[in-house]
Structure 1
Amino acid sequence: MSNSSGKLSIDEKAKGKQNVEPITSFTDENIGKNEVLTSFKSADGKIVNITGDVDEAMKLAVNLNDIKIDEKADKKLLLKIDICLLPLLCLLYAFQFMDKISNSYAAVMGFREYFGMVGNMYSWCGTAFYLGYLFFEFPSNMLIQRFPLAKTASVFIVLWGMILCLHSSCKSYAAIITLRVILGMLESIVTPTMVLLTSQWWKKEEQFFRTTIWFACNGVGTMLGGAIAYGLAKHKDQISFPAWKVLYLVDGLMTIAIGFIFFLHVPDNPSKAWFLTKKEKEMVVLRIKDNQQGFGNKHFKWYQFKEAICDWQIILYVIFGCVSNIPNGSLTNFSSILLNTDFGYDEYDSLLMNMPAGAVEFVGCILIVAIGIKLPMLSVSFFSMVVGLVASCMLAFSSNKEVKLAGYYLISIYALPMICNLACFSANTAGHTKKITADALYLISYCVGNLIGPQTFIASQAPGYSGGKITIVVCNSISVVIIAVNWFIYWNRNRVRDKKGNEEATAILSHVENFEFADLTDKENPYFRYTL
């Protein structure tokens, strides 16, 4: 049986056990040490040890002075967190997507002709980016676990801005491919950083909407990048060197600026927030206590790594990450080319006509989540994936230009399942090493999908690229099925936990203060419930 907060109620039999001895609460002296404080058996019979090697939030939790948060204070604190963090997170995510899609804009501004690209040479520009992303995804996740989160990410942001600027100085195809690989390596840190920041600052029930807001800013990046590219293309005769080179310089310098702002503004975790008082920092700890998670743990725990790679839920998400991002990889690199060659818009109009797709993604994703805020997260994901499937059919099979264009724009809604996956990792994966492993595995599969995507648009099939469009339909169909299976697994895990409970674990944990910050995984913690 579960209460309203999602915790198991300790049954009367467990309450009455005489052999359960309270343990000493976590103290400043034992935090960080690896000696066993207490043990219990998990539901699957595994021995779980609670040690002093806990989450960083424990350092604040053990010194709380019985602080209570009333509804008014809670809303005021939430608003303060939203105002201080969300705008910058949104801006960063908009810039990273603008950088990512800059190739698509440059492609119709003379980029391909400058490097003499023929056949599938341009496709490899998109693939090269994700080769770097794939190669460095796991190392980047380990870096943000070991070193200060925001500061480490800031260094990567500044470096990728510099690499983007260097795109304008390339003289050969080999040089541009090399820079695309390095750019992918540097950008690999952004999404896992955003996921960890979201889990640090907001309650489980607040994370999906916040994740939707910052992820949907991909659409803002599309619009902003399109506007810059259009302005440069229209005034190319007034520029002394190719307009696409200026595009890379502008995008790169904007990214460098946001990197320095991120370094100065965003704290590595709530305990270091310059914009919060000491009492507000303690209130943040209390707010996220029911997440059964915390701020993070800097020690890599191999048993949590093994649990992550053997968890069927995570394996399914990895498969989904690959399949669902094959369309993303193709459209990110070929959107402007399709509008130019398949839809018949000229160079300038193809840049402008990309902008509504960004508006649909930004407004559509946020609107759908806002309307369905009370619905299960995976139901919203399923609905948006079905919309994406219908849209891809319109793009692939219709002979009517207006219907195809509507399908192209509506496909942007399928970003919501990706948002849902990131929110699920944030809310439904506990244990810091397990969380970063799950993030890394998912983003590696995301890379593989984006690696494959550009290769489905074969040069010999231009200008319609029928094979690439049909691939999008097939991938979206598979994705719909995987979302439904994922929902069932989460639902069944909660049902089994509510039915069976774990008498020994709940009896012992009831005597452990702040066990929510003991860095237990979702499988170890009997109080943990998965958000649907």
Structure 2
Amino acid sequence: MSEKSDEKFGEARVEPVASFTKSDLEDKNLHVLTAFVSPGGKEVKITNNVDSAMKYALEHQGEDIVIDDATNKRLLRKIDTFLLPVMCLLYMCQFMDKLTTSYSSILGLRQSLHMKGDMYSWTTTCFYLGYLVFEFPASLLLQRFPVAKTVSAFIIVWGMILALCAVPQYPGFIALRTILGMLESAVTPAFAIITSQWYKKEEQFLRTAFWFASNGIGTIVGSAISWGLYKNAESYSLPAWKLVFVVTGCMTVFLGFLVMAHIPDNPTGAWFLTKEEKVLVVERIRSNQQGFGNPRFKKSQFIEALQDVRTWLFFLFAISSNIPNGGITSFGTILLKEDFGYSTADSLLMQMPQGAVEIVGCTLFAWLAKYLKSRTLMAVGVTAVVVMSQCLLAFAPTKSGRLAGLYLFTLAPVGFICVLSQVSSSVAGHTKKVTVNAIFLIGYCVGNLIGPQTFISTQAPKYQGAKVAIVVCGVFSLLCLIAIYVSYYVDNKKRDSMPPVDMSHVENYEFADLTDKENPNFRYAL
């Protein structure tokens, strides 16, 4: 850890201290407590610039804290009960928000806004341009300010902007969609941080799958709402496509206030935990070799993130897996109507099975990963099935075969969930985690903004060029996942073969905000 990792701490002074005290945390001047050699052979200095969980650990230092299996299960059930339903509801709603344009596209949006050629494709591309531009600023805001309060403010404004999408003509619509992308850029990184704050490494993949698979619930609910508005359009003073934006926007505003009131910024501030339970929750996550987060930006961790090959494997995976996702999200309903030949009402209803496949498939495979003992190998297997489904969508001679490919394609998020949970579990050091998360989601943006552009209007209604691009990207994303697994496996084996580093002379070093490359006792989740 560089002595100049935080300029606000001023010049470092070396003191022979081997344990943290409250005065260390209150001291705004950086000073070094001890040093050791990292697995990479570099000297690492542990300073008083540590994780926010350290303060709570020091307050209860010396207490005999024991977590038996029954207590651990009770705490996990309580955390799941109070956090997961709200997180799932919000993620469901944010995916509905992204699908509003797809639903509205066959309810009169394109005709009302006089869209021609590739104008509709830009309604999605501009969204992800906004996401791309604001991803790093949003991530830095989440690091600097309380996570739950910050993301809830983003959500509330986002819902208001979504409802306003029913008002403007095409230029204004594009502007609002760009702002929506900027606002949504905070949601996924916030949820990744919250998951890493509350859950142990081995629990994070399944919990990430739960809230991410809620996209499937959003597909079902959004399709049902759009179908109902379409079938009863004559009963309303506004066109059905405008009502889709108004209804989902109002739902989002409500959920933003719910998140603000319900989800704590970290476990020590949880209104639903007793004082004793807060101590136990902090102790539970000690095995992660990470804490809650550090609001201070560390230049050394930022540089390490840029130099880590896994960062760029994540980035390449995010681009290649989300080019297909961006295209299908925007054009799925149009394919069902114009390529498969379903009516407008049936095209809306035929998206519901996609949501069901995503809900069941993502959570089932994440649960099965417990028995395979490797989330990444599970993701590799599922992604191989997804590539086969993409081949069906692109090359199957019958409509039923292509439809099966479209439905099985919704298993693709398993790979994305795996990598997202790896950012939570296998990237340590809060500045590094925020940086890797931002780069990964920038790749997500790039893929999603390219995806709609592969659907060229002159190739309608088959869009064969886009389907071939989907297959190529699927194969490349599979290769990226394999490379990530091999990299982690080799690194863990190398660390296991090295002489152990005794860290007993540094109390609570797990909360010292060390990176995965600095901490000799850190092991990557496979």
With the length of structure 2 as denominator, give the TM-score of the two structures: 0.95
Deviation for aligned residue 1:52: 1.1
Name 1:218's counterpart in structure 2. 215
- Whole-Å Cα distance in 1 between the matches of residues 389 and 245 of structure 2? 31
Q: Does 1:310 align with 2:307?
A: yes
Work out whether residues 215 and 419 of structure 1, in 8 Å CA contact, stay in contact via their aligned partners in 2. yes
- Whole-Å Cα distance in 2 between the matches of residues 80 and 108 of structure 1? 43
Name 2:6's counterpart in structure 1. none
| Letter in structure 2 aligned against 1:28 | K
Q: What do the CA deviations read for 1:451-472 (whole angstroms, capped 9, x no partner)? A: 1000000000000000001100
Q: Does 1:512 align with 2:509?
A: no
Q: What do the CA deviations read for 1:250-288 (whole angstroms, capped 9, x no partner)? A: 000000000000000000000110111111111011100
Name 1:419's counterpart in structure 2. 417
Q: What do the CA deviations read for 1:63-86 (whole angstroms, capped 9, x no partner)? A: 222211121111111100000000
- Whole-Å Cα distance in 1 between the matches of residues 367 and 139 of structure 2? 31
Q: What do the CA deviations read for 1:285-311 (whole angstroms, capped 9, x no partner)? A: 110001000000000000000000110
Q: Structure 1 regions of 5+ residues with no counterpart? A: 1-20
Deviation for aligned residue 1:41: 2.2
- Whole-Å Cα distance in 1 between the matches of residues 18 and 333 of structure 2? 63
Q: Does 1:190 align with 2:187?
A: yes
Q: What do the CA deviations read for 1:436-457 (whole angstroms, capped 9, x no partner)? A: 0000000001000001000000
Work out whether residues 40 and 518 of structure 2, in 8 Å CA contact, stay in contact via their aligned partners in 1. no
Work out whether residues 22 and 511 of structure 1, in 8 Å CA contact, stay in contact via their aligned partners in 2. no
| Letter in structure 2 aligned against 1:441 | I
- Whole-Å Cα distance in 1 between the matches of residues 293 and 40 of structure 2? 25
| Letter in structure 2 aligned against 1:293 | Q
In structure 2, relative to structure 1, the CA distance for the partners of 1:32 and 1:47 (3 Å cut) is farther
SS at match of 2:264: coil
Name 1:472's counterpart in structure 2. 470
Name 2:240's counterpart in structure 1. 243
Name 2:443's counterpart in structure 1. 445
Work out whether residues 16 and 33 of structure 2, in 8 Å CA contact, stay in contact via their aligned partners in 1. no
SS at match of 1:141: helix
- Whole-Å Cα distance in 2 between the matches of residues 80 and 367 of structure 1? 22
Which range is displaced more, 40-49 or 105-114?
A: 40-49
Deviation for aligned residue 1:25: 2.2
Q: Does 1:284 align with 2:281?
A: yes
| Letter in structure 2 aligned against 1:124 | W
Name 1:39's counterpart in structure 2. 35
Work out whether residues 23 and 511 of structure 1, in 8 Å CA contact, stay in contact via their aligned partners in 2. no
- Whole-Å Cα distance in 1 between the matches of residues 366 and 471 of structure 2? 24
- Whole-Å Cα distance in 2 between the matches of residues 364 and 422 of structure 1? 17
Name 1:343's counterpart in structure 2. 340
Work out whether residues 324 and 475 of structure 1, in 8 Å CA contact, stay in contact via their aligned partners in 2. yes
- Whole-Å Cα distance in 2 between the matches of residues 369 and 313 of structure 1? 22
Work out whether residues 378 and 483 of structure 1, in 8 Å CA contact, stay in contact via their aligned partners in 2. yes
Which range is displaced more, 335-344 or 239-248?
A: 239-248
- Whole-Å Cα distance in 1 between the matches of residues 217 and 230 of structure 2? 20
Cα-Cα RMSD:
1.1
Name 2:516's counterpart in structure 1. 522
Which range is displaced more, 56-65 or 299-308?
A: 56-65
Q: Does 1:203 align with 2:170?
A: no
SS at match of 2:74: helix
| Letter in structure 1 aligned against 2:416 | M
Name 1:16's counterpart in structure 2. none
Work out whether residues 23 and 512 of structure 1, in 8 Å CA contact, stay in contact via their aligned partners in 2. no
Equivalent residue in structure 2 for 1:141, among 139, 142, 161:
139
Equivalent residue in structure 2 for 1:67, among 65, 71, 92:
65
- Whole-Å Cα distance in 2 between the matches of residues 270 and 32 of structure 1? 21
Name 2:130's counterpart in structure 1. 132
Work out whether residues 16 and 34 of structure 2, in 8 Å CA contact, stay in contact via their aligned partners in 1. no
With the length of structure 1 as denominator, give the TM-score of the two structures: 0.94
Deviation for aligned residue 1:22: 9.0
SS at match of 1:345: coil
Q: How does 1:16-415 map to 2 (within 5 A)?
A: 23-33=17-27, 34-64=30-60, 65-170=63-168, 172-375=169-372, 376-415=374-413
In structure 2, relative to structure 1, the CA distance for the partners of 1:308 and 1:461 (3 Å cut) is same
- Whole-Å Cα distance in 2 between the matches of residues 238 and 70 of structure 1? 59
Q: What do the CA deviations read for 1:117-148 (whole angstroms, capped 9, x no partner)? A: 01000000010000000000000000010011
Q: Structure 2 regions of 5+ residues with no counterpart? A: 1-14
Which range is displaced more, 38-47 or 335-344?
A: 38-47
Deviation for aligned residue 1:23: 4.2
Name 1:14's counterpart in structure 2. none
Deviation for aligned residue 1:322: 0.7
Deviation for aligned residue 1:46: 1.9
Name 1:455's counterpart in structure 2. 453
Work out whether residues 292 and 517 of structure 1, in 8 Å CA contact, stay in contact via their aligned partners in 2. yes
Q: Does 1:489 align with 2:483?
A: no
| Letter in structure 2 aligned against 1:351 | L
Which range is displaced more, 125-134 or 29-38?
A: 29-38
Deviation for aligned residue 1:32: 4.9
User: Deviating runs (4+, > 6 A) in structure 1?
Assistant: none
- Whole-Å Cα distance in 2 between the matches of residues 422 and 130 of structure 1? 18
Deviation for aligned residue 1:47: 2.0
- Whole-Å Cα distance in 2 between the matches of residues 334 and 160 of structure 1? 23
| Letter in structure 1 aligned against 2:80 | D
SS at match of 2:487: helix
SS at match of 1:373: helix
Deviation for aligned residue 1:43: 2.8
| Letter in structure 2 aligned against 1:161 | G
| Letter in structure 2 aligned against 1:47 | E
In structure 2, relative to structure 1, the CA distance for the partners of 1:127 and 1:313 (3 Å cut) is same
Name 2:9's counterpart in structure 1. none
Deviation for aligned residue 1:100: 0.6
Work out whether residues 32 and 53 of structure 1, in 8 Å CA contact, stay in contact via their aligned partners in 2. no
SS at match of 1:164: helix
Work out whether residues 339 and 462 of structure 2, in 8 Å CA contact, stay in contact via their aligned partners in 1. yes
- Whole-Å Cα distance in 1 between the matches of residues 242 and 167 of structure 2? 8
Deviation for aligned residue 1:53: 1.0
- Whole-Å Cα distance in 2 between the matches of residues 158 and 491 of structure 1? 42
| Letter in structure 2 aligned against 1:329 | G
- Whole-Å Cα distance in 1 between the matches of residues 345 and 404 of structure 2? 20
